Amino acid sequence: MEHLLPIIFLSYSYCVFLQAAKTTQPMAVPERVPVPEEFTDWKISFLSYHPSYWIAPCSFGQCDPDTTFLIAKKFNKKDGEVDRRMARRITMHRPKYDVSQGLPLNPSGRTGLAGRGYLPRWGPSHLVKVVLIKKRHKKMAYLKLRDGLTLQDDVFSTFVANLSSKKLSERVTYAIRKSPKLCSRGDIAKKVLHKAEHYAIKVAAESIPSPLDTDNAWVELSIYVIPCAKVRIFCEAVMKDKAIAAKYEWSTGTDTKSYLSSIQSLEKMGGTAKDGRQNDQLAMRHSHWDSAVWNTGRTVLAIAGIALYGLGVGLALSGLPVVGLSIIAATSIITLIVSLIYYIVRVARR
């Protein structure tokens, strides 16, 4: 399992790549109002700020109404089957967002565009990414979407109304139920799906910068890992679906070289976006990531990370292996996520 954390990082970064790539598809996105970086923070007064109001036709199974009149008092809460809260972080902290005049405010700040936009929900839209992992040739491999495909092609990425209800897309569920070995055994297919959901391990949860963001709608990404060793029938049945199998490949590219390559790809994509879609960069800014503060924060995080690693090792050697290894794993995950965010911010500022 030593390669699990690089797999998580690559999955996380690739999902961001797909979000950016999706904007290359034809979509009538209104022009964003320019937002100087010093005015992205909602706490800073910006009297001349009058962004366009945009709501696209619903492209999902279900979307919020065009106005927030009926749901204004339900933000930061569970609203029946719809969870309008931000995703609970790996640290168990669940941040809250501000609401002004009945509209949720993007915690990343002003984006130059108001409304629900293309996303299904006002406020946070929960995007779930499931990563299948298994051993191949004595190495840990993960199921990777083939190059050139976008988020729309990824059957293991889906917007959900409630994170506690389901993590698998309708397409994956259909593949299991129509599997040759399970299609005539509905009760077994149901158990296979339930087992896969049960063994899904949450490894990351963050608000991700997305070109689809507006002032009032944004993406909350939650990544789950499903080990095929625990759900062998599920993994085999999914990959027996020819349409799904054609889109994916098992990758063992989780070494240092692959890690650095993913960073370079992110920087390259950021450069391309800046040349061709300058307007979209407004949605990638996070006002509170000031350079000086960020550099200081990175130093503090590095010191804290080393200290936590030391604590984890000490506990593991002193007879508390579960606690020690948990601290080491959590520190590694947080470090990888922070590293990704740093590169996203650096790319967006170029």
Identify the segments of the chain with pLDDT beneath 50: 1, 24-25, 272-303, 306, 309, 316-317, 342-350
pLDDT value at residue 36: 93
Rounded CA gap, 151 and 164, in Å? 22
Q: Which of 34, 258, 215 is nearest to 122 (CA)?
A: 215
Report yes or no: 265 and 17 within 8 Å, Cβ to Cβ.
yes
Which residues have a Cβ under 8 Å from the Cβ of 317 and sit 6 or more positions away? 324
Which residues have a Cβ under 8 Å from the Cβ of 154 and sit 6 or more positions away? 18, 129, 145, 247
Give the distance between the most distant pair of CA atoms in the chain. 63
pLDDT value at residue 158: 87
Q: How many CB atoms lie within 10 A of CB 76?
A: 17
